[in-house]
Amino acid sequence: MQRFEPHVFPSGTALAGAPVGSRWLPLALALLMAACVHSPQAAVPELQPAEVHVASPCSETPSARAALQRVGQELQAQGMVLQATCPATGGGWVVQVRVVDGMKASKVVRGPLADGHDVDMGTPAGAALAGAESAAQGFSPDVLHNRAWLRATMARHQFENTPDAWWHFALRGAATVHTADADLAAR
């Protein structure tokens, strides 16, 4: 039976569970670290751009689902992925765009485009902060461009941006459900 003890490297760091006397472990770790440095996108979790992530059960309709799938396919071709959620409080879709291929994304959006990070829209998606309003000013030209690009992209697929936030969209012709209306319907 092989005995395991912490392996101490010259820097003083220890790696628990390394076989005693293993001379290959430092080499394997060095190769792994070199691979991560050489290919940083390998460290980013694999996202499936064709998928649209829908979180909470809301008034999702087949037409909304189909429209979101079309948006997701368009973004996939541009090196991005769409995340769309419909919070239980109602009101519309909360959308977020994440970069999966910065080179492709740089052809349509601006700003820092690191793989695995969100497209810069000035404020985080889903957070009702000052500056999240659709008409908010005072942001960099890159942020204003990205917000306009998202509005135009969503509009091509029948979604309208609501005035309260850049990330809030409603399907054209869909009735917006408010919590008070939902309570009355449940009675």
pLDDT tens-digit series, residues 100-136: 999 999 999 999 999 999 999 999 999 989 999 999 9
Which residues, other chains included, contact 41 with Cβ-Cβ below 8 Å and sequence gap of 6+? Answer: 115, 116
Higher pLDDT among residues 34 and 96, named by residue: 96
Q: Count CB atoms within 10 A of the CB of residue 11.
A: 6
3 state DSSP class of 175: coil
Q: Which amino acid is it at 3?
A: R
Write out pLDDT tens, residues 131-151: 999 999 999 999 999 999 999
Report the C-alpha dihedral over residues 99, 153, 122, 109, rounded to 10 degrees: 50
In the chain, the domains with their CATH numbers are 4-38 (no CATH), 62-181 (3.30.1380.10)
- Tokens 């500056």: give the residue: 131
Residue 169 is which amino acid?
F
Instruction: Flag whether the pTM goes above 0.75.
Output: no
Percent helix, strand, coil in the chain, to 5, is 35, 20, 50
Hey, what are 86's tokens?
Answer: 């419909």
In whole angstroms, give the CA distance from residue 175 to residue 162.
13
3-state SS, residue 68: helix
pLDDT band at 158 (very low <50, low <70, confident <90, very high): very high
Which residues, 6+ apart, have CB-to-CB distance to 184 below 8 Å?
Answer: none
Give the torsion sign (CA, 88, 93, 99, 101). Answer: positive
